[in-house]
Structure 1
């Protein structure tokens, strides 16, 4: 008796849902094929438009997830599952999670914008949020900077995408600005010639660019020079320290005398 009841219920269930289940399976297979075609087309379009290779996997994954969610909702509707309440619950849960993770979502959106528009790239020397360093990595939520003294700075992408950023090395070459002083008794021409020797000896200074050695301040006992040396962006600090040391040595070789310490201190404060 019990067996007959179970059998009857099973037959009724198969009769009621069997066709829907078969249709849902067919729809799932066809849907997966269509999703594969769509993602392939999007990938080809991004390749033709030269979208960054680092961004493509992320965008393709996002599109694939959205399409698969839509497919599952469609299949649930075919089977007969009420999807309106499910969508409402999903929307409410998404809203709650969005409010709870508002800062993270802002960083996520900022990371997407940075990956797409590339205001800076890995290896660039930038100044942002009061920090200067080389970009070690651009992640979805954060950008990793390494400062010249080898500190790791983690900056949220949300604030980076909405605040000023100075890309120091974006053009591939950079000018190293320095100030030097020598006693006025040496004469401007002699000091300039000595500084020029030091700049010419710098291996990281660009050879096809005019470097500036300009008198910027004159006092009774000192002559101040602005020295501007062009160098590849990646060798900024090497150039900076090399020129300082080279000028110190060249002044000693050429007998360039230093100004009075008090004179230099007063002039620099002005």
Structure 2
């Protein structure tokens, strides 16, 4: 009889606890359902905003996922609080875990922040030729943490976005046109005007070189063994290197044909015979 009485007492207390806990459980379930619906609606609004704005698809996907994750964490805290768990204790646990994760991933967080800045402000885009962190090449891929660059030798350089966003970046494709500067030395006995005319003729004959702004040639320096001429001209980005190499080759051929000397270092060696 005592055992039966003990079971009845336990069952009675359990039922009392269930009835006391049931309102909190129902409230938590309702909060969860409504919260998931609200998160879904907010996600749709964020997606519509990004569809109208001109942001990088990688950044859009990441921010959408980040917002959804933050909202789900807040919903989890709210639901657990409805079940009777102390919110202050839960927030302290989540905060401590966040701090520990942040300290462990300092470098990754720096790269993440740099990636967000690059994707948001767009100092360069995929396909641009840039110079950064001692690497020259074409941007192949921009992700949240790193940027991949294809070098001249068709190697892939992977640069952390934290370093890219905090250092100098030279974007050669930021403007549609680009100016070249070619220095060439001629001998002191050569005709300066004739050499300048040849350089301008080469530029005028090349359709890839823009006529406005017009090419210009001037004496850049009177060096020890040469008069250094400086040629400057503009070309579209797509034609820049082809025009550059054509001018370099053609000026050598024309100078040779016209008898204009291009000095080069020479060393005179004398031998002395001992009597």
TM-score category, normalised to shorter length: 0.7 to 0.9
Match of 1:206 in 2: 210
Determine which structure has more spread, i.e. the larger CA radius of gyration: 2
Distance 1:104 1:235, change over 3 A: farther
Distance 1:221 1:187, change over 3 A: farther
Q: Structure 2: state its 5+ residue gaps.
A: 267-275
Q: Equivalent of 2:135, from 109, 131, 144?
A: 131
2: CA distance, partners of 1:201 / 1:40: 58
Match of 1:233 in 2: 237
Match of 1:80 in 2: 84
1:211 deviates by 1.9
Q: Equivalent of 1:120, from 99, 124, 128?
A: 124
1: CA distance, partners of 2:223 / 2:125: 45
Answer whether contact 2:55 2:119 (CA < 8 A) is retained: no
**TM score, norm. by length of structure 2:** 0.80
Match of 1:266 in 2: none
1:39 deviates by 2.6
Match of 2:182 in 1: 178
Distance 1:181 1:19, change over 3 A: same
Match of 1:30 in 2: 34
Kindly report which structure 2 residues correspond to 1:23-102, keeping only aligned pairs within 5 A, or say none.
Answer: 23-102=27-106
1:67 deviates by 0.7
Distance 1:238 1:21, change over 3 A: farther
Deviations 1:119-144 (A, max 9, x none): 22222222223333322222211222
Kindly report which structure 2 residues correspond to 1:159-170, keeping only aligned pairs within 5 A, or say none.
Answer: 159-170=163-174
Q: Equivalent of 1:262, from 252, 260, 265?
A: 265
Match of 1:268 in 2: none
Q: Structure 1: state its 5+ residue gaps.
A: 264-270
**TM score, norm. by length of structure 1:** 0.81
Cα RMSD for the two superposed structures: 3.0
Secondary structure at 2:127 match in 1 = coil
- Segment of structure 1 superposing worse, 55-64 or 85-94: 85-94
